[in-house]
Structure 1
Amino acid sequence: MRIALVGPAFPYKGGGAQHTTELAHRLRAAGHEVALESWKAQYPGFLYPGQQTIDVPEGEVFPGTRRELSWRRPDGWLRVGRRLRSYDLVVFAVLSSVQVPAYLGLLRGIGGAARTVALCHNVLPHEPKPYDRPLMRALLRRVDGALVHSPQQEELARLLGTAPVSVADLPAHLPATRPAEEPVGSGARGRLLFFGIVRPYKGLDVLLRALPDGVGLTVAGEFWGGLDDTRALVAELGLRERVELLPGYVPAERIGGLFAACDALVLPYRSATASQNVLMAFEHGVPVIATRVGGFPSQLREGVDGLLADPGDVVSLREAIVRFYREPERFRAQVRRPDHGPVWDAYLLALTGAGL
């Protein structure tokens, strides 16, 4: 099958670019002829307050990636769309509704000549704006199918659109990290890790309020606003000596050291769909404490390699952390490195098979 993927790739960073690139590699390895259409300008700066691009790729760059799309050039959307008419399948990686106008332009250029699928990382964002719903409704009523990553997202996609919707677990698309220079030793370190972009729905404020006495926390990632408020909350709670804030993009070569220095990764999200962070922790041999939202309950084994707490509940999260520290080495010993192959096989089948 001739397949065109449209989505972010290097020099863009983060999970969206990693997923699109890994998907292209996997589809080619499965015998398909694959083209990857990426962006030279994906978002206006005011819509993406973090660092958009990087100098060193986080994985293997897909050969021949084209980078012609720009939010500033609607004329280019139609031109690229016409070029994609020769493909059997065109897949749009939807990370934000801001991409939708460009995708609608591409669809106009394709003109029904190829089957089209919206691959929705989030049907609607965790912190929605008034324009999100009408834009996603327009897209999901014009494509031939949609692929989502949870039953809840399936329900939302069916509500907004008319196209068939398939569901598949989000497979691993992790940055190419390396182990810490010093191997992880035995014994608890008394330190937890919060990793990734910091946004209100991820519940860092809940974690700070839940942090038990004697336990430290490292917060590593870009702050999409709220850094001063977080610093103020740390001071208000008397946590300056125990909380380390490392704001900013974390390059792949630093990730191994962060995980090696912690006892568990904490994901105190108020809401979620699918996340790579559980898999990333397990790749580094680190247990996970998460909330009962999105895919977290199915990704970890409660009481074995992780623990679950109620979202937005300080007491529940503190109890989970205290329970973890009763036997941290037992949790660590039961972490298993995930087998990503079967999940990817099912994902490719959902994307290219009869389901869509």
Structure 2
Amino acid sequence: MIRNQKIIILGPAHPLRGGLAAFNERLAEQLTAQGNDVEIHTFSFQYPAFMFPGKTQYATGPAPANLRIKRSVHSMNPLNWFRTGRAIAKQRPDIVIVAFWLPLMAPSLGTIAKMIRKNGHSRIIGLVHNLIPHEKRPGDVPFTRYFVRQCDAFITLSREVENDLKQFTKAPVAFAPHPVYDSFGDPVPQETARKHLGLHPQHRYLLFFGFIRAYKGLDLLLEAFADPRLQAMDNLHLLVAGEFYEDKKKYEPLLTPRVQLIEDFIPNEEVKYYFSAADLVVQPYRTATQSGISQMAYHFEKPMLVTNVGGLPEIVPDGKAGYVTEPSPKAIADGILRFLDQPSGVFSNFIREQKQLYSWDHFTDTLGSLTQ
């Protein structure tokens, strides 16, 4: 456990929205509760509008009341990188945790980290969600190498990213599973959740949750859902809750009357209703490292169907927390049928036990091992 340290987290946070912001804010809460002085430095400017595929980068709700969040980083302004790095260096934080998920951010985050290290005191820990992007672009490798060189140690959320990092550096690398996302409220009774969302109380619902991009395989799930064996089940429905980060047109021919599409970013206060209403959370990804959706499902104690890619099978043991299938429509349909043939609640005990392993205490203990 980390105690009595001055800590700065560098990465997305309110008013930016999304899983990375939620992760950094929850981590800051945990470290603060353990007796540390914590401040988040987030972006005043994250992505140019033409590079952001969603409707907005910003949350509509209030900032977390118990956190100190400073909007100081401009991802595209080198003068800002030097200014921000020098300002943080003067604060002499004991630990700086730098969230990394995209090579595009390497110049800004890497330069700020480089400036901070010049104070000879701060230890820089890279919190690497993803090292090699799902959607590759020119410059990914040199940008990533630049960022990696500025860190003293790294923590990853999947074994796959841990292995990727070891191809770039000999610095210490620790793995800790993505903790449970417990910041979206407690589970509510399924009947209550369905009433809130206007869903039928007796139907069965599959849930695809989160932003929609090609690597997440929504088209694979829609093709699986069109399987005649599933279409024969009149009471089976699919909820797709998430904002399109690519052209919706390619999905439209696959939509059927029993696919309910909520094509918008789901506010934090509404998340509990979607997960609580669902019978099965489906992640039909083509590629993955880890997924915060799995940890949301654990928090709401929902079984999952995931594909056999990246770190997903590490988190969802086949036949215990749900099912692992190959990323193809038939295999996904077969997995859904396997689930529907099981008695209700068959995975509940394992999921309740397993989610105890994904605590924030365990994550910060692992983080603390890198600060020595």
Q: Who is 1:317 aligned against?
A: 332
Q: Who is 2:288 aligned against?
A: 272
Q: Who is 2:312 aligned against?
A: 296
Q: Who is 1:237 aligned against?
A: none
Distance between the aligned counterparts of 2:321 and 2:363, measured in 1? Answer: 25
Q: Which moved more, 1:177-186 or 1:242-251?
A: 177-186
1:65 aligned to which of 54, 58, 69: 69
1:153 aligned to which of 157, 161, 168: 161
1:77–1:260 Cα change, 3 Å = same
Pairing of 1:150-189 with structure 2 (within 5 A): 150-177=158-185, 179=187, 182-183=191-192, 189=203
1:54 aligns with 2:59: yes
Q: Who is 1:246 aligned against?
A: 262
Contact 2:10–2:41 under 8 Å retained in 1? yes
Q: What is the CA-CA distance between 1:354 and the residue it aligns to?
A: 4.2
Distance between the aligned counterparts of 1:62 and 1:294, measured in 2? Answer: 35
CA offsets per residue over residues 332-353 of structure 1, 9 Å max, x none?
6545276557632232122232
2:139 aligned to which of 131, 138, 141: 131
Contact 1:285–1:337 under 8 Å retained in 2? no
Supply the AA of the counterpart residue of 1:316.
A
2:344 aligned to which of 306, 323, 329: 329
1:318–1:224 Cα change, 3 Å = same
1:221 aligns with 2:230: no
Q: Secondary structure at the match of 1:53?
A: coil
Supply the AA of the counterpart residue of 1:351.
L
2:83 aligned to which of 54, 57, 79: 79
Supply the AA of the counterpart residue of 1:101.
P
CA offsets per residue over residues 141-172 of structure 1, 9 Å max, x none?
22211211222211211212343222111112
Q: Which moved more, 1:15-24 or 1:321-330?
A: 321-330
Supply the AA of the counterpart residue of 2:342.
E
Q: Secondary structure at the match of 2:257?
A: coil
CA offsets per residue over residues 258-303 of structure 1, 9 Å max, x none?
2343321111111211112123223334221111223332323432
Supply the AA of the counterpart residue of 1:53.
Y
Contact 2:28–2:40 under 8 Å retained in 1? yes
Contact 2:38–2:68 under 8 Å retained in 1? no
Q: What is the CA-CA distance between 1:109 and the residue it aligns to?
A: 2.4
1:99 aligned to which of 94, 105, 122: 105
CA offsets per residue over residues 218-263 of structure 1, 9 Å max, x none?
11101111311101233xxxxx211122111111232233234332
CA offsets per residue over residues 92-140 of structure 1, 9 Å max, x none?
1112222111113213422432221211110121112122221111111
Q: Which moved more, 1:261-270 or 1:60-69?
A: 60-69
Contact 1:268–1:290 under 8 Å retained in 2? yes
Unaligned 5+ runs, structure 2 = 195-199
Distance between the aligned counterparts of 1:112 and 1:118, measured in 2? Answer: 17
1:63–1:343 Cα change, 3 Å = closer
Distance between the aligned counterparts of 1:80 and 1:289, measured in 2? Answer: 43
1:298–1:188 Cα change, 3 Å = farther
Distance between the aligned counterparts of 1:338 and 1:170, measured in 2? Answer: 13
Task: Name the count of aligned residue pairs.
Answer: 349
> What TM-score results when the alignment is normalised by the length of structure 1?
0.89
Q: Which moved more, 1:345-354 or 1:8-17?
A: 345-354
Q: Who is 2:206 aligned against?
A: 192
Supply the AA of the counterpart residue of 1:233.
L
Q: Secondary structure at the match of 2:96?
A: strand
Unaligned 5+ runs, structure 1 = 235-239
Contact 1:202–1:270 under 8 Å retained in 2? yes
Supply the AA of the counterpart residue of 1:4.
I
Aligned-residue identity in percent: 31
1:344 aligns with 2:360: yes
